[in-house]
Structure 1
């Protein structure tokens, strides 16, 4: 491990832009959350308790509404497939994804990352330090990666959800953000009580 200028430890092989395959081969790091941005490792802070509660409550609400064959997975690396295999890669670790079980089985069997082309919905929960990252940078990347639906959840009161969907050459279009209750018919019928997402118990 090599030390960064800030004093924390960097994984090995981080002194040059990494391909996605090189990123996949890095040793597991249980202390830090890493993403790969154009080949360079970027560390994000560990989520706060409100953030974690929102993720768990979102799964609880989603689980009985997901069609057969779909599942929700939190905090998992996604290969955005924005570069050729031998070029610097882009890997993001969203707060939650909804993916087909066949894609999960492939990834698990091969020991490789899930691919953007396999993700139906990607969810980011906005933290104070991620407002621009989630609303601008990742929004652009996820659209470029062809992920059909991107939900941005802001847990500041009132809790809100911006539902972004691909609109051809225009990238993502969105619903302007809703509070209270979010409902949609695509990519599957869903109803979310947004205020309940930040409550530990009903």
Structure 2
């Protein structure tokens, strides 16, 4: 017996701008919507294998260096808290975050998204078609949300990382781009071998 092809998912019909709570209530959808920008659903294509490998490798490198109070998490929604609970909201799903264990537990127990105030580092891996979003739009949103550190990883050879940190009153200040094996001094010394992200 031949299986029938799966129907192509139709666009999700939403007749208003969503709050973060409404977005979270959608859960995982078959439509590929993974983020919320000013109340509007944003659809992202599935990541390529090289992107997934880089994210997994970076997770492994970070995980072994974090103290007990921090956790590295991949592909998880965060509430940027840029709008009130009844207003069109902002939620992003970064490739990787480092968040406080207490905040993760609070989110788990409440059924809410992880709050930006509990995120120490947010990481985006630049994909084809996401460069402006990662380097301009999310750069501004994550800074506005008060996330202390934002890392932008570019897989174009040689793999590079731009570490951004909040400079009070000025948003993010970008450190010079680094590649190869490097030690990032903030928020605490972390040794990253960027060359391993492309192997």
Give the TM-score normalised by structure 2.
0.92
Give aligned pairs, total.
192
- Tell me what 1:109 maps to: 109
**Aligned-residue RMSD, C-alpha:** 1.3
Would the aligned equivalents of 1:24 and 1:113 in 2 still touch at CA under 8 Å? yes
The correspondence of residues 48-127 of structure 1 with structure 2, limited to 5 A, is 48-127=48-127
Bigger Cα displacement from structure 2, 87-96 vs 101-110 = 101-110
Cα shift at 1:8 = 4.3
SS of the aligned residue for 2:130 comes to helix
Q: Is residue 13 of structure 2 the alignment partner of residue 9 of structure 1?
A: no
Would the aligned equivalents of 1:67 and 1:188 in 2 still touch at CA under 8 Å? no
Aligned equivalents of 1:122, 1:11: Cα separation in 2: 28
Structure 1 runs of 4+ with >6 Å offset: none
Can you give the 5+ residue segments of structure 1 that lack an aligned partner in the other structure?
1-6
Change (3 A) 1:107 1:30: farther
Aligned equivalents of 1:108, 1:102: Cα separation in 2: 10
SS of the aligned residue for 1:9 comes to coil
- Tell me what 1:128 maps to: 128
Would the aligned equivalents of 2:12 and 2:31 in 1 still touch at CA under 8 Å? no
Give the TM-score normalised by structure 1.
0.91
Change (3 A) 1:76 1:168: same
Q: Is residue 173 of structure 2 the alignment partner of residue 181 of structure 1?
A: no
